[in-house]
Copies of this chain bind each other. A is one copy, B any other.
Amino acid sequence: MADEALFQFLHNELIQYVYKSSEHGEMENGRCITKLENMGFRVGQGLIERFTRDTARFKDELDVMKFVCKDFWTCVFKKQIDNLRTNHQGIYVLQDNKFRLLTQLSAGKQYLEHAPKYLAFTCGLVRGGLANLGVKSIVTAEVSVMPACKFQVMIQKM
């Protein structure tokens, strides 16, 4: 339990620091999100590199996505993705019904507007992980009811 806490607390500090070190204008929010996303990207790259060192080669894109939903997610968030859907045309939706970085926020609607900053790092994490497995993508996140969360991965065909 303390392991997860370490990541959570550090993640919180990161968000606070990024927001504090920028001025608080409307324009700035987007930049903070981008910074957090970029940090997630690099962490995701590093993690997947270590993590796949001894795994077999992936069969296809879907195989890669399954790996992200199971092994990668478990490593970072201590649970699997609850639901993976795809339109078989390069769009995947990963649903986590109890996303760990949101569980610390109150479930009320009044905090919904703060959700994006708690998701940016993870979007980057997924994008970075996939990038290092040769899958270029755009990752966005969406929250309707906290702490459930959907990550949409759009594969960029090369």
Contact = CB atoms under 8 A, between A and B. Distances in A.
Interface in A35-58: 35, 39, 42-43, 46-47, 50-51
Interface string A1-14: 11101110111011
A46 to B, nearest CB: 5
B43 A2 contact: no
A76 interface: yes
B9 A46 contact: yes
Contacts of A7: 6-7, 10
Interface string A140-156: 00000000000000000
A75 interface: yes
B3 A43 contact: no
B13 A39 contact: yes
**Residue from A1, A2, A7, A39 whose CB has the most chain B CB atoms within 10 Å:** A2
